[in-house]
Amino acid sequence: MRKVLVLLGVFAFMFTLVGCEEETKEVEIIEEPEEVVELTELVMSGVEDAVVFKNSSYNVLDGITVVGNDEIDYTEFVKVYISGCGVDEDNNLYTTDKATCYIEYIAVIDGIFIKNSREVEIR
């Protein structure tokens, strides 16, 4: 009789353990789609007059950025037009002679146009 009671006790204990297992549920997280911001405005920064000394290095694109209201960087679309000085294929200004350079920066993205200019004096 004692063996039967012990055996019943063991079975009851096992059923208790099996019944206590945690049930896990898979929860699907649904992310809301990001709101698409339409590009309506561009902001160009870093365009300020400068003084450069002869035979120094000066890249006319250093510091120039164009960012849209959609927070995307459009700097790679900037075109540079220079008068009064020359530049090499990497947009480095020729600084061997004294001169005043007029630099114009233009970017057009999705029909939105921005233009800015500055003077760089080589002393």
Which amino acid appears at position 100 of this protein?
T
CA 62, chain centre distance (Å): 17
Residue-wise pLDDT tens digits, 70-89: 999 999 999 999 999 999 99
Residue-wise pLDDT tens digits, 79-123: 999 999 999 999 999 999 999 999 999 999 999 999 999 999 999
| CATH fourth-level superfamily of 42-122 | Immunoglobulins (2.60.40.10)
Asked whether 109 and 77 are in contact (CB, 8 A), the reply is yes
Which of 82, 120, 80, 117 shows the shortest CA–CA distance to 98?
Answer: 120
H/E element, 72 = none
What pTM was computed for the model?
Answer: 0.70
Residues 6+ apart with CB under 8 A from 123: 51, 52, 53, 54, 98
Q: Residue ranges per domain, the chain? A: 42-122
Residues 6+ apart with CB under 8 A from 63: 46
